[in-house]
């Protein structure tokens, strides 16, 4: 197969982990006889510094013309610490999702037995947890009507974010959730805040109508605050959860922590145009250039990329290599065992996995 991949390394640790992701992608292509080409593009704070736009038109064109986008991270403290900044790196990420029509974010949360000790939860609670969060990605407060902080007629400073959803937006993401549930354990949890929010009542109304079309899937409903607690008390309860943009953003970060490290979990964003594959963690600027960033989420995002094109053997070999690296204690510092005499950085972990793939 021929694949054209747009490479958006972004900010912070992005270029370092992207280097390892591309190396693994190329090793798999060579192993299985695929032809993969790459085209790099600007995004995030780096793009703002270069051209004043976090998602330039040229980057959009490169992404739109590619078969897939491999993305790393955006974000920089100089923008985080400046509330008055008119342009922010994260706006580039939102623009990419909107322009490419990426309305479905698929975030698997899976535990690794050899890293259970790194989870903040007890072994018996977290071992075996394996669920997927389907997050609606182009609606809600992130894209609704906004009003930046301003002083009103009464002299009081105010701001506004609108949590806006339409029936078609809700229907299409629910159907994605049901498709994944049918392919797994046939259990879908719809997460909302219907006791308080009108937008959530729309979600629940539509979901209760659609669930009748999927009698083979058990559907239940949970308020987002209860879901947050249930993820800590009993993460194995969940199979597939589907929720709106803001709730999904928060819950998936919570889910990543219970596995032991945010550096372990990949994601895919799909919709009407080019799909995007990326780690769920941020840019971690404090770790930039130190060769300590965990590249596994980026590498597992490459596995999801191949699997998206039904190249399941390729994805399986990447997952096998990642598991082998963990079992062999080839790990970056945040998940390394204290008793391990050898130390591995971002480059060393990536090189070990590439070598494993070539020898497989």
Structural domains in the chain plus CATH codes: 1-100+274-360 (3.40.718.10), 112-260 (3.40.718.10)
Among 192, 249, 344, 356, the active-site one is 249
Active site residue 193: yes
**299 DSSP 8-state letter:** H
User: Given this model, what pLDDT does residue 253 score?
Assistant: 86
Q: Is 268 exposed, middle or buried (0-12, 13-18, 19+ CB in 10 A)?
A: buried
| pLDDT over 80 (residue 84) | no
pLDDT in tens, 125-168: 999 999 999 999 999 999 999 998 999 999 999 999 999 999 99
User: Given this model, what pLDDT does residue 87 score?
Assistant: 87
| pLDDT over 80 (residue 34) | yes
Q: Which of 264, 267, 18, 323 is nearest to 133 (CA)?
A: 267
User: Given this model, what pLDDT does residue 83 score?
Assistant: 67
Whole-angstrom CA distances from 201 to 126, 143, 193, 245, 305 are 31, 19, 8, 15, 34
296-308 and 346-359 helices, crossing angle to 10°: 40
Q: Average pLDDT of the chain?
A: 94
Active site residue 67: no
| pLDDT over 90 (residue 342) | no
Tell me the range of 16-30, 77-91, 142-156 where mean pLDDT is highest: 16-30
Among 180, 192, 193, 306, the active-site one is 193
pTM score, two decimals? 0.90
How far does Cα 253 stand from its chain's mean position?
A: 9
Active site residue 122: no
pLDDT in tens, 180-218: 999 999 999 999 999 999 999 999 999 999 999 999 999
Active site residue 38: no
| pLDDT over 70 (residue 50) | yes
| pLDDT over 80 (residue 341) | no
- Cβ contact 262:98 at 8 Å: no
pLDDT range class, residue 261, cuts 50, 70, 90: confident
Q: Which of 131, 112, 244, 253 is nearest to 180 (CA)?
A: 131
- Cβ contact 70:6 at 8 Å: yes
pLDDT in tens, 104-129: 999 999 888 888 888 899 999 999 99
Torsion angle of the four alpha carbons 232, 304, 11, 296, in this order, in degrees rounded to the nearest 10 = 70
**Percentage of the chain exceeding pLDDT 90:** 82
Query: Minimum mean pLDDT among 52-61, 253-262, 286-295, 300-309: which range?
Result: 253-262
Among 225, 234, 327, 355, the active-site one is 225
pLDDT in tens, 233-258: 999 999 999 999 999 999 988 988 88
Among 118, 253, 308, 347, the active-site one is 253
**328 DSSP 8-state letter:** T
Higher pLDDT, 178 or 82: 178
Active site residue 192: no
Among 53, 103, 142, 178, the active-site one is 142
């Amino acid at each position: 197969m021929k694949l054209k991949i747009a490479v958006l390394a972004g900010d912070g640790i992005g270029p370092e982990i992207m280097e390892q992701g591309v190396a693994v992608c190329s090793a798999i292509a060579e192993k299985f006889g695929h032809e993969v080409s790459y085209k790099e593009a600007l995004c995030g704070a780096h793009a703002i510094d270069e051209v004043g736009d976090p998602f330039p038109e040229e980057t959009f064109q490169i992404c739109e013309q590619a078969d897939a986008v491999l993305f790393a991270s955006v974000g920089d403290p100089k923008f985080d610490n400046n509330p008055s900044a008119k342009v922010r790196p994260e706006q580039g990420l939102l623009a990419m999702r909107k322009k490419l029509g990426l309305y479905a974010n698929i975030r698997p949360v899976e535990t690794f037995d050899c890293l259970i000790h790194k989870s903040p939860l007890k072994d018996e609670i977290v071992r075996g947890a394996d669920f997927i969060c389907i997050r609606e990605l182009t609606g809600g407060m992130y894209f609704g009507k906004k009003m930046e902080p301003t002083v009103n007629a009464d002299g009081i400073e105010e701001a506004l974010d609108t949590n806006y959803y339409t029936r078609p937006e809700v229907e299409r993401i629910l159907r994605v959730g049901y498709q994944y549930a049918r392919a797994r354990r046939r259990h879908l949890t719809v997460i909302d805040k219907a006791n308080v929010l009108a937008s959530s009542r729309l979600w629940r109304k539509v979901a209760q109508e659609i669930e009748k079309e999927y009698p083979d899937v058990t559907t239940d409903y949970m308020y987002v605050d209860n879901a947050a607690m249930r993820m800590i008390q009993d993460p194995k309860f969940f199979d597939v959860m589907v929720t709106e943009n803001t709730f999904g953003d928060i819950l998936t970060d919570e889910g990543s922590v219970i596995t032991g490290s945010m550096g372990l979990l990949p994601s895919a964003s799909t919709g009407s145009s080019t799909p995007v594959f990326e780690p769920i963690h941020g840019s971690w600027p404090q770790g930039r250039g130190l060769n300590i960033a965990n590249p596994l989420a980026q590498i597992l995002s490459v596995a999801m990329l191949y699997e998206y094109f039904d190249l399941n053997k390729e994805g399986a070999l990447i997952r096998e290599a990642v598991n082998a690296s963990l079992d062999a204690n080839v790990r970056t510092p945040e998940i390394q065992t204290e008793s391990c005499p050898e130390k591995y950085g971002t480059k060393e972990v990536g090189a070990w996995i590439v070598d494993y793939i070539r020898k497989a």
